[in-house]
């Protein structure tokens, strides 16, 4: 089967999922069923993405792109959780690299941030930031994780999370409150974001962390001080958690997006996910 037919076949199977329902365990309560009608691409220059809108509880909708790798599945899946700027092209480039590395990738809105950005406009139907602040366990991208397990060619017991900045905070909450993932990569994951009020600290849920974790952080980060990751690393190791931390000397916020560090940071993230998901 040629590449074009593979793409059409995958689109057809994605369409079949519109008839399915997903149940999302939040760690506190069970959400209502969600569906996934197709959606127009907000980034027509991005080839190979299949777009959908997950329909969640309380009328929430999560615009989502699915990237299928080349080859024959089943594939391990990585869910990419965006930063505070929403569904941006920069964050999407991480998802594209993961797909090129052989992962089935889900990249979508997990919250509607309050920053006035195009990425947050695209996520305006998702969970408001105030609800995330009030309950970060219930609002940590679990709709996307549930979707990942149902995709054609997905290995439902080989799911990884790749969280960027605020998405790293969400990834740690999800992995610590019953999401059932097998690996987490977190780039500059604030455990105490500079918000007022701010959500509960990821340190509060650390005892529940049930997946190997790679933390990456720039030592010159002015948005989220590197000491937050160092503190989380120390606390995780003290509890016997499987955690690896890599600190990029002199690099600022979000090492997977910075020109001077993104190649190494993404390579490290991909290698970590391969180690724990390709088993």
Q: Which of 27, 64, 259 is nearest to 151 (CA)?
A: 64
**Tokens representing residue 35 in the block:** 């569906």
Expressed as residue numbers, the domain containing 52 is 3-277
The pTM score is 0.89
User: How far apart, in whole angstroms, are the C-alpha atoms of residue 49 and residue 42?
Assistant: 11
Measured CA angle at 173 (ends 170, 178), to 5 deg: 125
User: How far apart, in whole angstroms, are the C-alpha atoms of residue 54 and residue 221?
Assistant: 33
User: How far apart, in whole angstroms, are the C-alpha atoms of residue 268 and residue 272?
Assistant: 6
Q: Which of 182, 208, 157, 163 is nearest to 275 (CA)?
A: 182
pLDDT in tens, the chain (279 residues): 444 444 445 443 444 444 343 333 333 333 333 466 788 899 988 888 999 999 988 899 999 999 999 999 899 999 999 999 999 999 999 999 999 999 999 999 999 988 899 999 999 999 999 999 999 999 999 999 999 999 999 999 999 999 999 999 999 999 999 999 999 999 999 888 878 888 999 999 999 999 999 999 999 999 999 999 999 999 999 999 999 999 999 999 999 999 999 999 999 999 999 999 997
Residue 54 sits in a domain whose CATH number is: 3.40.50.1820
Look at residue 245 in the predicted model and tell me its pLDDT.
Answer: 98
> How many structural domains are present in the chain?
1
Look at residue 94 in the predicted model and tell me its pLDDT.
Answer: 98
Q: Which of 131, 235, 141, 230 is nearest to 190 (CA)?
A: 230
């Amino acid at each position: 089967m040629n590449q074009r037919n593979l793409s059409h076949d995958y689109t057809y199977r994605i369409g079949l999922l519109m008839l399915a329902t997903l149940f999302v365990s939040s760690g506190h309560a069970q959400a209502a069923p969600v569906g996934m009608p197709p959606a127009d691409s907000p980034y027509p220059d991005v080839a190979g993405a299949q777009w959908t809108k997950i329909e969640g509880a309380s009328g929430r909708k999560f615009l989502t792109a699915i990237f299928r790798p080349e080859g024959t599945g089943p594939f391990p899946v990585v869910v990419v959780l965006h930063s505070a700027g929403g569904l941006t092209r920069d964050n999407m480039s991480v998802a594209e690299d993961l797909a090129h590395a052989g992962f089935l990738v889900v990249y979508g809105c997990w919250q509607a941030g309050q920053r006035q950005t195009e990425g947050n406009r695209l996520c305006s139907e998702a969970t408001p930031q105030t609800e995330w602040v009030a309950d970060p366990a219930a609002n940590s991208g679990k709709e996307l994780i549930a979707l990942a397990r149902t995709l054609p060619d997905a290995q439902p017991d080989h799911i990884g999370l790749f969280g960027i900045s605020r998405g790293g905070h969400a990834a740690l909450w999800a992995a610590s409150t019953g999401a059932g993932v097998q690996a987490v990569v977190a780039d500059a994951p604030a455990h105490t974001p500079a918000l007022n009020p701010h959500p509960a600290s990821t340190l509060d849920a650390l005892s529940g962390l049930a997946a190997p974790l790679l933390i990456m952080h720039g030592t010159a980060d002015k948005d989220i001080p590197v000491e937050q990751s160092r503190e989380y690393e120390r606390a995780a190791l003290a509890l016997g958690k499987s955690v690896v931390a890599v600190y990029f000397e002199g690099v600022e916020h979000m090492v997977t997006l910075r020109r001077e560090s993104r190649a190494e940071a993404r390579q490290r993230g991909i290698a970590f996910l391969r180690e724990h998901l390709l088993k």
